[in-house]
């Protein structure tokens, strides 16, 4: 990368639609093969190889060799959070400001990013690397703030209060174990579709793990959208009102 400013280097990597499609395909935290990423980006195997080499060199993805296959994944949560934030600032309106058209689809006052509103499941609940994102995730963060379980500590982090520690323990989430991890405890991650923060970091990952384990949500094959189950609908309604 020969650009004078590092942000320009990142911009050049993201500017190509194929590379952007690959990064978005990796946002659910999975490791994917070059062939799977080529199909996600709708490019040839040769083009995919060139794109992945650039993304790896740029530090956005990492690669692991398993037998004859190479598997690629995002380099970490910082990359995932940055992609989610870029999605938020590149979407003209939060999904809550889109209106539903008479044909059952969503129609925006602007034509850009209408595809965002067309995927209701993606807007409702999805994985953002290893934590929950979407309408439910934002509502959860806001309810936890309202109940003083978490409070904003600065522009990027949440502080978990004593009441929050006790509340989380009811779900088997122990703060002492989370604090031993080598990552931020609770970060404020700007949601792509809602344009408001949801919870990432070790706490966000623990919450999503709980929701998946207890079948509040299930993963949808081939996408990072999450299906809210009947159990999840009842539980989230009781929790969020």
95 and 152 together in one domain: yes
Of 53, 75, 97, which marks where a domain is finished? Answer: 75
146 and 178 together in one domain: yes
* Residue pair 160/175 in contact by the 8 Å Cβ criterion: yes
In a domain, 1, yes or no: no
In a domain, 156, yes or no: yes
Question: Residue with structure tokens 């323990």?
Answer: 169
Which of 140-153 are b and which e, b meaning 16 or more Cβ less than 10 Å from the residue's Cβ? bbeebeeeebbeee
The total domain count for the chain is: 2
**Which residues make beta-bridge pairs with 63?**
72
In a domain, 187, yes or no: yes
63 and 126 together in one domain: no
In a domain, 106, yes or no: yes
* Residue pair 195/141 in contact by the 8 Å Cβ criterion: no
Instruction: Give the HSE-up count for residue 111: Cα atoms under 13 Å, Cβ half-sphere.
Output: 0
Of 32, 49, 75, which marks where a domain is finished? Answer: 75
* Residue pair 201/186 in contact by the 8 Å Cβ criterion: yes
pLDDT at 92: 57
CATH of the domain at 21: 1.10.10.10
57 and 142 together in one domain: no
pLDDT at 91: 61
Of 75, 100, 128, which marks where a domain is finished? Answer: 75
In a domain, 195, yes or no: yes
State the pTM of this model: 0.67
109 and 221 together in one domain: yes
Domain interval for residue 61: 6-75
* pLDDT tens over the chain, length 241 residues: 455 656 777 888 888 888 988 888 888 777 888 888 998 888 998 998 999 999 999 889 999 888 788 899 888 888 887 887 787 676 655 555 543 433 333 333 333 343 443 478 888 999 888 899 999 999 999 999 999 999 999 888 999 999 999 999 999 999 999 998 888 899 998 888 888 999 999 999 999 999 999 999 998 877 788 999 999 999 999 999 7
In a domain, 86, yes or no: yes
pLDDT at 40: 85
Which ranges in the chain belong to alpha helices (H)? 6-14, 17-25, 34-41, 45-57, 77-90, 114-118, 120-124, 135-146, 162-169, 175-179, 201-213, 230-240
83 and 34 together in one domain: no
68 and 83 together in one domain: no
98 and 208 together in one domain: yes
172 and 155 together in one domain: yes
39 and 89 together in one domain: no
In a domain, 135, yes or no: yes
38 and 71 together in one domain: yes
83 and 193 together in one domain: yes
In a domain, 26, yes or no: yes
């Amino acid at each position: 990368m020969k650009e004078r400013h590092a942000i320009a280097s990142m911009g050049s990597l993201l500017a190509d639609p194929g590379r952007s499609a690959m990064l978005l395909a990796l946002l659910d935290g999975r490791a994917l093969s070059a062939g799977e990423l080529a199909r996600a980006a709708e490019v040839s195997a040769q083009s995919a190889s060139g794109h992945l080499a650039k993304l790896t060199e740029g530090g956005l993805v990492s690669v692991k060799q398993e037998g004859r296959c190479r598997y690629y994944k995002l380099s970490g949560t910082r990359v995932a959070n940055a992609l989610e934030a870029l999605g938020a600032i590149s979407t003209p309106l939060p999904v809550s400001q889109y209106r539903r058209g008479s044909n059952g689809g969503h129609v925006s006052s602007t034509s850009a990013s209408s595809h965002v509103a067309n995927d209701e499941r993606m807007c409702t609940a999805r994985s953002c690397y290893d934590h929950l994102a979407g309408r439910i995730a934002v509502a959860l963060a806001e309810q936890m703030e309202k109940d003083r379980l978490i409070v904003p500590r600065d522009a990027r982090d949440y502080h978990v209060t004593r009441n929050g520690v006790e509340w989380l323990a009811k779900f088997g989430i122990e703060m002492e174990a989370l604090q031993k991890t080598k990552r931020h405890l609770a970060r404020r991650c700007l949601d792509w579709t809602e344009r408001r923060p949801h919870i990432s970091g070790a706490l966000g990952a623990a919450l999503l793990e709980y929701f998946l384990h207890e079948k509040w949500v299930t993963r949808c094959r081939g996408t990072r959208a999450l299906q809210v189950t009947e159990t999840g609908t009842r539980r989230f309604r009781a929790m969020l009102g």
